[in-house]
Amino acid sequence: MNKALNNIIISSRIRLARNIDGLPFPEKVSADKAALIPRDVYAALSGVDTYTIYRMNEISETDGNVLKEKHLISEDLLRNKDTGAAIINESETVSILINEEDHVREQCILPGFALKEAFTAINAVDDAIAKKVRFAYGEKLGYLTACPTNLGTGMRASAMMFLPGLSIYNSLQACVNAISRLNMTIRGVYGEGSDSVGYIYQVSNQKTLGVSERQIIDAVETSVGHIAEAELKARDSLKTSGGDELKDKIMRAYGILTNAYKIDSKEFMQLMALVNLGAYYGYIKLSDREQFLKLITNAQPANIASLSNKDLNGDERDVFRAKYVSKVLSTITKK
């Protein structure tokens, strides 16, 4: 991936929605039958990789939110304390959500623009589960899902994108209108109904019925390419019009992040977005982009609480975040 796309495309995700043949959808299935699903899925994955089961009624609130901030589980799953579970591999690239909207939701998240690689990985997981668990499937409708919009392949392909240029110029809606004709949508950082944080958005397909997995991936890649091209043009215009004032704003953001005594999560995301843009322009030298992106997740409220190994109140967490961010940024960046 070239430098420009590397700064725009954060990660790629493929998600497959599946349901167990013969069972009602999760809202109607009995608790005793729902409780068997994570056991059966986990057994099917034996030997495929090293997996851990997280049951929503057993993990702490902090640990659950850590998984959510890492995009490994959803808010809906986290709320299902009765039968919700997640099966996650050791590298945290694959997570399987049990008894969320569907019985089984399999997803693979990889860094950068890697939709095809993510599909290959999750397709192997899907095949392994399907050897042991019979999925509900119809000849005309494909995979049967709780929400009609997921019928067919049951697949959502998405890319997480950093779009400060289009956001600042209020040009994102034009991109939304353009890609909607390709049955694509743009959502916030945590999916449908969520807000954008730090100019980060998800671009994903809407249509799953009557198209193949390959067609979905090709359509998403095309849409992401169009958006990336528009974002690069917006960044060029932003640099030209912003001049020294934009550079000063970026460097002040870097100064706060590396020197602040206390910083909350909202301000952190706003400032990190500017530093990220500064890295693209070359104002800030970034030696390890993977660590930079990891810092965005690690500085979220639950992850910070987990990293501190202490029971912190809000102010104490903000102080710890400032120290942690300063330490990490100082090791991977320089002016």
Could you write out the DSSP letters of every residue in 308-324?
HTS---HHHHHHHHHHH
* Spatial distance between the Cα atoms of 298 and 70, rounded to a whole number of angstroms: 9
Strands 104-111 and 137-138: unpaired
Structure tokens at 145: 């899902």
- Do residues 99 and 83 touch, judged by C-beta distance below 8 A? yes
- Do residues 185 and 204 touch, judged by C-beta distance below 8 A? yes
CB atoms within 10 A of CB 110: 20
Query: pTM score, two decimals?
Result: 0.92
Q: Which amino acid is at 1?
A: M
What three-state secondary structure class fits 325?
helix
- Do residues 160 and 9 touch, judged by C-beta distance below 8 A? yes
Residues 6+ away with beta carbon under 8 Å from 323 = none
Cross-strand pairs, 158? 13, 204
Q: What is the pLDDT of residue 94?
A: 98
Structure tokens at 21: 């043949």
CA distances from 308 to 62, 162, 267, 305, 314 (A): 12, 28, 20, 5, 13
Question: Residues 60-87: what's their mean pLDDT?
Answer: 95
- pLDDT tens track for 245-296: 999 999 999 999 999 999 999 999 999 999 999 999 999 999 999 999 999 9
pLDDT above 60 for 40: yes
